[in-house]
Chain A
Amino acid sequence: MTGSNAIDVAGLTVRYGGVTSLDGMSVRFEPGTCGLIGPNGAGKTTFFNVLSGFVRPSAGTVHAFGEDVLAMAHFRRARWGLRRTFQTEQAIENLSVFDNVAMMHEHSGLGGRTRRQDVLGAISFAGLDCDPGAAVRTLGAAQRRLVEVARAVVGRPRLVLLDEPAAGLPDEETEHLAQVIRGIPDHTGALTILVDHDMSLVSACCATTAVLDFGKLIASGPTARVLRDDRVIRAYLGTAEVT
Chain B
Amino acid sequence: MLDTASSAAAARQHPPLRRPGPRILVRAAVIAALLLFVLLALPQLLSLYYIDTMTQVAVYCVVALGLGVLVGRVGLVSLGQAAVLAIGAWVAARLLFATTQPYPLVLLEAGLVTMAAGTLIGLPALRLRGLYLALITLMLAGAITVVLATTNFPNGGHGFLGYNGAAVHIPAIRRPSIAASDPAYFRYSVVVAALMFLLVFAHIRTRPGRAWAAIRQSEPAALAAGINTTLYKLWAFALASFVTGVAGGVLAGAVHYLYSIDFPAQDSITLLAVVLMGGAYSLWGAIVAALLLELLPALLNNWGVSADWLTILFGLGVLQVLTTAPAGLADQVPKDLARLGRLLRRLPAGRRERPAPPGQGPAQEPAGGPR
A interface bracket (residues with beta carbon within 8 Å of B): 35 or more
Q: Which of B11, B217, B226 contacts A75 (CB 8 A)?
A: B226
Contact at A77–B226, with CB atoms within 8 Å? yes
Which residue in A76, A103, A125 is a CB contact (below 8 Å) of B11? A125
Binding site for A on B (CB under 8 A): 1, 3-5, 7-8, 11-18, 207, 210-211, 213-214, 216-218, 220-221, 223-229, 281
Q: Which residues of B contact A83 (CB under 8 A)?
A: 224
A95–B224 touching, CB < 8 Å? no
Taking a contact as CB atoms under 8 Å apart, the answer to whether A179 and B4 are in contact is: yes
User: Which residues of chain A (101-124) have a CB below 8 Å from chain B?
Assistant: 102-104, 106-108, 116, 120-121, 123-124
Complex Cα distance, B220 from A127, in Å, reads 25
> How far does the Cβ of B117 sit from chain A's closest Cβ, in whole Å?
27
A161 to B225, CA, bound (A): 12
Chain A residues contacting B4 (CB-CB under 8 Å) are 179, 182-183, 186
* A127-B17 in contact given A86-B220, A90-B220, A94-B217 (Cβ < 8 Å): no
Q: What residues make up the interface of A, taking CB atoms closer than 8 Å to B?
A: 52-54, 74-79, 82-84, 86, 90, 92-95, 98-99, 102-104, 106-108, 116, 120-121, 123-129, 131-133, 151, 179-180, 182-183, 186-187
Q: Which residues of B contact A131 (CB under 8 A)?
A: 15, 18
Listed from nearest, the 4 A-B pairs whose CB atoms lie closest are A78-B226, A107-B226, A90-B221, A103-B210
Instruction: Find out whether the CB atom of A75 lies under 8 angstroms from the CB atom of B228.
Output: yes
Q: How far is the CA of A92 from the CA of B281 in the complex (A)?
A: 15
A107 CB contact (under 8 Å) in B216, B217, B227? B227
A78 to B18, CA, bound (A): 28
Between B220, B224, B228, B281, the greatest number of chain A beta carbons within 10 A of the residue's beta carbon is seen for B224
Partner of A92, one of B1, B17, B221, B229: B221
- CB<8 Å pairs between A and B, sample of 10: A92-B218, A99-B210, A102-B210, A103-B225, A107-B211, A120-B16, A124-B13, A127-B11, A132-B16, A183-B4
Looking at chain B's contact residues, is the secondary structure mostly helix, strand, loop, or mixed?
Answer: helix
**Complex Cα spacing A147 to B204, Å:** 21
B225 touching A98 by the CB < 8 A rule?
no
- A203 CB, min distance to chain B CBs, angstroms: 14
A151 x B17 contact (CB < 8 A): no
Docked pose: A22 CA to B217 CA in angstroms: 28
Shortest Cβ distance from A89 into B: residue? B221
Are B229 and A120 in touch, CB under 8 angstroms? no
Query: Given the interface contacts A99-B210, A104-B225, does A54 sit within 8 Å of B217 by beta carbon?
Result: no
- Residues of B close to A128: CB separation below 8 A: 14
Instruction: Assess A125 versus B217: contact at CB under 8 Å? Given A75-B223, A78-B226, A120-B16.
Output: no
Query: Contact: B226 with A79, CB < 8 Å?
Result: yes
Contacts of B17 in A (CB 8 A): 98, 116, 120, 132-133
Write out the residue numbers on chain B whose beta carbons fall within 8 Å of the beta carbon of A94: 213, 216-217, 281
Q: Are A74 and B223 in contact (CB under 8 A)?
A: yes
| Given A54-B220, A76-B226, A179-B4, A132 and B214 contact (CB-CB distance below 8 Å) | no
Contact A93 B11 (CB under 8 A): no
